[in-house]
Amino acid sequence: MLAKIGSAAVLGLEAQPVEVEVDVRQSGQAGITTIVGLPDAAVRESTERVRAAIRNSGFSFPGNQRITVNLAPADLRKEGPAYDLAIAIGVLSASGQIPPGSLEGAILMGELSLDGSLRHVRGVLPVADMARRQDIAAMFVPTADAAEAALIPELEVYPVATLGELVVHLQGFVAITPLAPGAQLQPQPPPPAVDFAEIQGQEHAKRALEVVAAGGHNMMMSGPPGAGKTLMARAVPGILPALSLEEALEVTRIYSVSDMLPPDTPLIQQRPFRAPHHTISNAGLVGGGQWPRPGEISLAHRGVLFLDEMPEFNSRVLEVMRQPMEDKAVTISRAQGSLTFPANFMLIAAMNPCPCGYYGDPDRACTCSIGMIQRYRKRISGPLLDRIDIHIEVPRVPYEKLAKATRGESSASIRARIEAARVRQRARFGNNSLACNADMGPAELRQFCTLGNDVQALMRTAMRQMHLSARAYHRVLKVARTIADLEGTEAIQVHHLAEALQYRTRMMDL
């Protein structure tokens, strides 16, 4: 008998339907199971798990017959153990242990344990999304992944704990109750982070961080050891605006295919904050591998990528971020074609001004030679620096300020201003899918960043004196737009542009 069961493959962030065909017959060599369409090692392992799971669940594995399993289409690359459940149900159906046709229009996913219980699989969210778009009515997934699938509305999601439970459901004895579908954002407290109130002094840097968070811009902090650069970056999650449901689903999809969704968190509701170590590889940063997985720049999508001690990163690795930073997405080419992952992140970078750390410090002499300093700074290329909107110097905080008992403004109150500025931005963009000023392209810049005559005059002078590139010009305009939004004014005024320009001055030249 032949049985056909629906399943799916995940490629990049997208899912595609896979049909699992199982044929069980008397003729030919009995006792041999062939699986067509999976890599060899995966076939062997899956066969073993399916056989054991069926027997240990109290059903019979037709060992005295010939079993052929075909995962179609053949040219689609498939991996992993997520087909176990569909194969097992196919075997039981083709051998007459489940009524035929009971799973029409459904997708099954799940890895089997030898005892028949179902294990978590990655990529359930993109599969559920594909199922809805293809008018598939139901999905059967491991209990651990059911809430994730149920984020997609109009899809019947059945949580399955064991193979036996699903068989009994299909035989019509004990029904599994589907989950109520549809994602809802629960109001979330901001994540635990250093509170801005704990940071003494550094008013200039704190203001710059507020602008960065309000408009989704990039930033570089430069300063001596112990000035508080790492501390301030770690305070940023506490002032980031909340994710919209749409954004939360985007982020969750990336974490789902990366198999990084925390247990009990079907929907990611906090903006990511990623701080990779400087020994990270190319593939680790931008994504890649034999089965391409998202890298840190995609894991930071809609959130922050913090590169602490940026000159310590391999400069060739840093350079691969250049195109993704412009495109807000990364394309990975492979033999079978290319894959795109979103990578719309805010870059926050920190560095010392020189190898010893004290160049430009008023109280402590720098011991580096000019050559050493130049070599150190050259590790971050001009084109990369050009993509950073806001450059600030973070000096050491004098003792008098550190010892003061007064607390600064709290993260909560800064966050409220940032939320208000974001509301203004979204209202301006209308149903354009842009989320913040950093997302503006040339068309939006022309439309939303018109300058009055006096402001234009300042821009003209600055372009000439600061030798700004066209890219820098556009980036300065966006920052000025954000500063005006924080103030709640529609027109960009001279003092908004002046502040934006002042963030553009690079680290002290030698």
Ligand X SMILES: Nc1ncnc2c1ncn2[C@@H]1O[C@H](COP(=O)(O)OP(=O)(O)OP(=O)(O)O)[C@@H](O)[C@H]1O
Which amino acid is located at 365 in the chain?
A
Q: What is the dihedral of CA 487, 189, 13, 130, to 10 degrees?
A: -110
Q: How far is the CB of 202 from ligand X (least distance, A)?
A: 5
Q: How far is the CB of 339 from ligand X (least distance, A)?
A: 36
Name the residue nearer to ligand X (CB basis): 113 or 230. Answer: 230
Q: How far is the CB of 276 from ligand X (least distance, A)?
A: 16
224 to 253: interface string for Mg ion, x by CB under 5 A: ------x-----------------------
Q: Which two tokens stand for residue 247?
A: 């954004």
Name the residue nearer to ligand X (CB basis): 117 or 202. Answer: 202
Residue 343, φ and ψ in degrees, nearest 5: -155, 60
Q: How far is the CB of 382 from ligand X (least distance, A)?
A: 23
Q: How far is the CB of 241 from ligand X (least distance, A)?
A: 24
- No. of helices (H) and no. of strands (E), the chain: 20, 18
Partner interacting with residue 231 (select from Mg ion, ligand X, none; CB below 5-8 Å by kind) = ligand X
Residue nearest to Mg ion (CB): 230
Name the residue nearer to ligand X (CB basis): 171 or 279. Answer: 279
Cβ atoms of 106 and 140 closer than 8 Å = yes
Asked if 312 is part of the footprint of Mg ion (rule: CB under 5 A), the reply reads no
Which residues, 6+ apart, have CB-to-CB distance to 348 below 8 Å?
212, 218, 219, 221, 233, 236, 304, 305, 306, 307
* CA 246 from centroid of its chain's CA atoms: 13
Name the residue nearer to ligand X (CB basis): 260 or 373. Answer: 373
Partner interacting with residue 289 (select from ligand X, Mg ion, none; CB below 5-8 Å by kind) = none
Q: How many angstroms separate the Cα of 136 from the Cα of each of 9, 67, 94, 194, 354?
A: 15, 27, 22, 46, 59
Q: How far is the CB of 349 from ligand X (least distance, A)?
A: 12
Partner interacting with residue 425 (select from ligand X, Mg ion, none; CB below 5-8 Å by kind) = none
Partner interacting with residue 227 (select from Mg ion, ligand X, none; CB below 5-8 Å by kind) = ligand X
Q: How far is the CB of 53 from ligand X (least distance, A)?
A: 51
Name the residue nearer to ligand X (CB basis): 401 or 471. Answer: 401
Residue nearest to ligand X (CB): 228
CB contact burial 64-91 (16+ within 10 A = b; e otherwise): ebbbbbbbeeeeeebebbbbbbbbbbbb
3-state secondary structure 256-296: HHCCCCCCCCCCCCCCCEECCCCCCCHHHHHEECCCCEECH
**What are the residues binding ligand X (CB under 6 A)?**
199-202, 223, 225-231, 352, 397
Positions in the binding site for Mg ion (CB under 5 A): 230
